[in-house]
Every structure is written in C-alpha cells, then in structure tokens.
Amino acid sequence: MSAASGSVIRVGTRASALAMAQTRQIADRIAAAAKAEVELVPVTTEGDTSRASLASLGGTGVFVTALREALLEGRCDVVVHSMKDLPTAEHEGLRLGAVPKRADARDALCARDGLTLATLPEGARVGTGSPRRIAQLRAVRPDLEVLDIRGNIDTRLGRVASGDPSTGSGEALDAVLLAAAGLGRLGRSDAATELLSLDDWPTAAAQGALAIEVRRERGDRALEHALEAVDHRTSRAAALAERLVLAGLEAGCAAPVGVTAFLDDELLFLSATVYSADGTRRITSSHAATPESRSAADLAESARDVADRAVAELLGNGAAELAAAIEETS
C-alpha cells in the first residue's frame, strides 16, 4: 500500500529513544509538507537486541535490515535511518528519498567533573563501542583504559554521571564518547564536556546525517513532494562523498576510518583518515572540487570526484595493507 493524499503516511524507525526522537522530528516535517497525518512504526533490529560489540556483529546493516524488510513488505511507507548505519551498496528495491539538513557531525566527550580529553587523569576509563573512536583515543592518549561498551545514550551517560557501579549499568567510567548529534536530538547536549574538532578528530562517514529510504518505485505525489521539501542538497552531497570513500576502501561503518566533507566558498572539501586498530599508524588524504552549480547532479558529480581521488591516494599509500592488518587483529 502506498501513502495517498489524505491518508496516513507510516514512518518506520528503530524503537530506541534516540531513533524515535529523530524520526518524530522528520515525520512532523513530512506531515506538514504532504498535508497528511503520520504514524510512527517502531521496528526492533538486531543491533537493538544484541549486547555483542558492533565489530563482532559485522557492523554494517545490523540496525537497518529489519527496517528495510518492513518497508519492502509494505508495513511502512518510508523509513528513517541514522545514515552512518547504512551499508554503502545500493539496495536493489529501495532508494534514498531524502537527506535532511545534517546535524553536528562532531564527537562529544562526556566526562565526569567537566574533564576534557587532555585533562583526563592517566589510566582513566573511557567507554565507546566504535573501533574508530578506540583507535583515535589510543593515538592521542595511549595511557587511557578504553572499554568496548554498548547501550543507549542514557545508559552510557549514567555510567559516568552516577560513578556508582551498583546502578546495574556496569562498572563506572570516567568518560564516554558519543555523537554530538545524538545528544542534541535527545536534549542532552549539556552532558558534553568537550566537542572534538573535525580537523583533528574526523568522525564516521555521514555522522549526524539522517537517511529517508523509500521503495524504488515512485510513491504518490504528496509523499514525493514531501521528500523534496525535506531533502538538503549540500548535506546529501557531503554524506555521499564520505560514504563513497568507505565504499572505495571496501570498509564498513564499524571500520576505523574517519572522513569529513563539507561545502565552503563554492568548494566541496573532503578529508579521510584510515587508522590502525591500535592508533599508532594513520594514512590521510584531502581533496577539493568545484561544483559547477548547486544542482543535485553537479554536487553529486563533485562528491564522486573528491571521493575517487581520496580513495586512490589512500590505497596508493598503503590503506589496503593497513586494513588487512586490522582484520588480522580483530
């Protein structure tokens, strides 16, 4: 069943508090543009139920497969993903309907007593489930004890705020690393004690961006109009460039790769870094392109250009060998 004018548009989402919050914001915008009612359809994914690390689960796709199945089976009309969770390969039955304006792409350190990454004491315990963040932490603060943790944002923050392992959330931590965008969408930005600069601390491809997927066949006119209204071209182009780097490196969303793209002064800039698992080695490539216009087609062409050049340079400088070493140690 497709959404029709005057009917309810069913919006699929993960059932976590963060996913529901960010999907509600997008659903409200779709409803206004389509002049239709919306209904959120919560879907439980493998990534929500398993407590295993993302690396052991395979990383790519663990948060999206069940949502895509619900969309293909007609249980919803659109689905909203955190774009960094999406596999880089296109799905034969689905298309990217829109990319809303991107939120803050930075990582946030949330530490006890207002501490920053530089002022954390030697041996401090820092929690994160991201191999990229683990590699980056080990690169700048090899003295820290880094713990692989899972759980929603409130659970992770609780392990820092309480300082009390008796809360049942696990051992207390001195800090956790989280996405600034997720904190903002839950109204918890005040928990951040430091926002890490993208220049020194590039984040996951498309971090802070949302992806609205729909079935490949065109939907009704009202829904298509709503998707056009929600889409933000420069955010889409930046996210595309970053994800094309991952695709070119054949790296998943859990790989220790940091990549940042942005449009400034009519130039599309991209910088990508591949890390060794222990953070002792890194390979970086930076490039820029000039889109002929702000049209979706020209922006996409520039995104492919900078990504192709970055991938070629990274591979030429040994990124494949570094990735092979990562696989051997994982």
Would residue 24 show up in a list of annotated catalytic residues for this protein? no
Of residues 73, 72, 62, 82, the one with CA closest to residue 20: 82
Would residue 309 show up in a list of annotated catalytic residues for this protein? no
Q: Which residues touch 141 (CB under 8 Å, ≥6 apart)?
A: 117, 120
Task: Give the CA distances from residue 62 to residues 2, 13, 100, 313, 327, in Å, rounded to whole numbers and listed in that order.
Answer: 26, 14, 22, 30, 19
Active-site residue identified among 10, 68, 106, 156: 156
Would residue 138 show up in a list of annotated catalytic residues for this protein? no
For 250, list phi and psi in degrees, rounded to 5: 55, 45
Contact 149, 127 (CB under 8 A): yes
The first and second tokens of residue 165, run together, are 């392992």
Give the burial string for 97-116 (b: 16+ CB within 10 Å, else e).
bbbbebbbbbbbbbbbeebe
Would residue 101 show up in a list of annotated catalytic residues for this protein? no
Task: Give the CA distances from residue 129 to residues 177, 223, 255, 256, 297, in Å, rounded to whole numbers and listed in that order.
Answer: 9, 36, 12, 12, 36
Active-site residue identified among 10, 68, 132, 243: 132
Active-site residue identified among 106, 107, 243, 253: 253
Active-site residue identified among 14, 76, 85, 174: 85
Active-site residue identified among 10, 14, 102, 133: 133
Would residue 150 show up in a list of annotated catalytic residues for this protein? yes
Active-site residue identified among 101, 112, 150, 282: 150
CA–CA separation, 301 and 137 (whole Å) = 34
Residue indicated by tokens 């070493």: 325
Task: Give the CA distances from residue 236 to residues 96, 99, 101, 284, in Å, rounded to whole numbers and listed in that order.
Answer: 10, 5, 8, 23
Active-site residue identified among 84, 102, 138, 243: 84
Catalytic residues: 84-85, 132-133, 150, 156, 253
